[in-house]
Amino acid sequence: MSTTISYAELVGLLEEIFLRHGTDKVAASILAENCAMCERDGAHSHGIFRIRGYVDSLSTGWVDGRAIPEVEDIAPSFCRVDASNGFAQVALAQARDLAVSKCRQTGVSVLAIRNSHHLSALWPDVEPLAREGLIAISTVNSFACTVPFDGKSPVFGTNPFAFAAPLEGGDPIVFDLATSAMANGDVQIAARKGHALPPDSGVDKNGKPTNDPQAVLDGGALLTFGGYKGSSISMMVELLGAALTGGHFSFEFDWSGHEGAQTPHTGQLIILIDPSRAAGESFDLRAHTLIAAMQAAGVSRLPGQRRAEIRAQTLQNGIPITAEDLASLRTLAIA
């Protein structure tokens, strides 16, 4: 049985859950809005599905929900944040104004977050920056669940990267994709629903190809998308998200003593570019030229457009949610 909940109501309910399970008000507000945004926009693998993972990560002491990030102003275009074993989104919020200011002053800035936990999609981190007129790129590594091309065991995480660019008079261009064949959350959802995975998505614990999501989760691993090409990009994400930030590689942390913990303890890199510094015609005009060419070639849906369409629907009609999921959230808010 399904019902609906408004975006504001969902944010409020999730905030109660985070507060109940050990975060301070700042973290609760940031994480609740982030998670609700994902559910609102149809990104279900990073919406309320993730709440149990957040709660278990907090209750086992794996992540510090009251951590105070330490912002470090390193150079005219470079700043760092030690998230202090807290959530990456909280660290980003703490350093955001500094990173934006540096970008406005110099044309580009880099924000390197370390000692952080990220369990959400990346597009909520970059889309708001594009709405302020900046190009934003972000990478974050994860936990070792993906086999490098020509490898035999997992080394990489799902290792997503996201890109957002402003468009005058419309929604930004936004995409967010894992460098694994699919997101780990989608594998978990497929297992829960009894659905098979697409071909070439993963291997079982013996390294044999499988489309059984449970086999991937039970000692198996994902493959990278596009063979060696995706593997190379995933390696880049490890280098940017961990080696450059000072965070852990996806294979370097051990959460075995924190049963149920799901928030990878790694790092995140965000690069900001001010498109007003570009040469020639304005970036916006050139972007519209490219979009027109794509549409003339038959493209009917741009990156991020589906999410925007779902957002418009759910803001008007409410966010669909099963009665079971809603009851579970309400229980977590008081238990």
* Catalytic hit among 82, 125, 171, 186: 186
Mean pLDDT throughout 63-77?
98
**What are the phi and psi torsion angles at 97 (to 5°)?**
-60, -40
User: Which residues, other chains included, contact 266 with Cβ-Cβ below 8 Å and sequence gap of 6+?
Assistant: 116, 117, 118, 140, 141, 142, 143, 157, 241, 242, 247, 248, 249, 250, 253
If asked whether residues 237 and 147 sit together in one domain, one would say yes
186 in catalytic set: yes
- Our CA dihedral for 67, 12, 183, 290, rounded to 10 degrees, sits at -100
> What does 203-250 look like in DSSP terms, one character per residue?
E-TTS-EE--HHHHHTT-EEEBTTTHHHHHHHHHHHIIIIITTT---T
If asked whether residues 298 and 325 sit together in one domain, one would say no
**What integer best gives the mean pLDDT of the chain?**
96
What is the distance of C-alpha 233 from the center of its chain?
16
Q: What local confidence, expressed as pLDDT, does residue 170 receive?
A: 86
Kindly report the CATH number assigned to the domain that includes residue 143. 3.30.1370.60
Pairing of strands 319-322, 202-203: unpaired
Mean pLDDT throughout 298-319?
95
If asked whether residues 77 and 163 sit together in one domain, one would say yes
What does the alpha-carbon distance between residue 233 and residue 243 come to, in Å, rounded to a whole number?
A: 14
The answer to which of 19-28, 179-188, 226-235, 288-297 has the lowest mean pLDDT is 179-188
Mean pLDDT throughout 150-158?
94
Per the domain annotation, does 260 fall within a domain? yes
195-213: per-residue pLDDT in tens? 999 999 999 999 899 999 9
Per the domain annotation, does 291 fall within a domain? yes
Percent of the chain exceeding pLDDT 90 equals 93
Q: What local confidence, expressed as pLDDT, does residue 281 receive?
A: 87
In sequence order, what are the beta bridge partners of 171? none
Per the domain annotation, does 67 fall within a domain? no
77 in catalytic set: no
If asked whether residues 23 and 95 sit together in one domain, one would say no
User: Which residues, other chains included, contact 295 with Cβ-Cβ below 8 Å and sequence gap of 6+?
Assistant: none
The answer to which of 143-147, 207-211, 328-332 has the lowest mean pLDDT is 207-211
Q: What local confidence, expressed as pLDDT, does residue 300 receive?
A: 95
If asked whether residues 164 and 296 sit together in one domain, one would say yes
150 in catalytic set: no
* Catalytic hit among 45, 109, 116, 250: 45
* Catalytic hit among 46, 117, 118, 248: 46
If asked whether residues 144 and 36 sit together in one domain, one would say no
Answer whether residue 279 shows pLDDT above 90: no
Per the domain annotation, does 23 fall within a domain? yes
Q: What local confidence, expressed as pLDDT, does residue 86 receive?
A: 98
Q: What local confidence, expressed as pLDDT, does residue 54 receive?
A: 97
If asked whether residues 298 and 311 sit together in one domain, one would say no
Mean pLDDT throughout 132-151?
96
If asked whether residues 54 and 77 sit together in one domain, one would say no
Structural domains in the chain (count): 2
| DSSP state, residue 122 | S
What does the alpha-carbon distance between residue 125 and residue 87 come to, in Å, rounded to a whole number?
A: 13
Per the domain annotation, does 65 fall within a domain? no
In sequence order, what are the beta bridge partners of 3? 321
Answer whether residue 335 shows pLDDT above 90: no
If asked whether residues 1 and 104 sit together in one domain, one would say no
Per the domain annotation, does 190 fall within a domain? no
If asked whether residues 157 and 267 sit together in one domain, one would say yes
Per the domain annotation, does 76 fall within a domain? yes
If asked whether residues 315 and 167 sit together in one domain, one would say no
What is the distance of C-alpha 91 from the center of its chain?
14
Answer whether residue 29 shows pLDDT above 90: yes
If asked whether residues 8 and 104 sit together in one domain, one would say no
Per the domain annotation, does 37 fall within a domain? yes
The answer to which of 33-47, 97-111, 190-204, 238-252 has the lowest mean pLDDT is 190-204
Q: What local confidence, expressed as pLDDT, does residue 183 receive?
A: 86
User: What residues make up the domain containing 77?
Assistant: 72-180+224-302
Kindly report the CATH number assigned to the domain that includes residue 30. 1.10.1530.10
E-state strands within 141-223: 146-147, 161-165, 173-177, 202-203, 209-210, 221-223
Helix (H, G, I), strand (E, B) or coil at 170: coil
pTM for the predicted model, two decimal places: 0.94
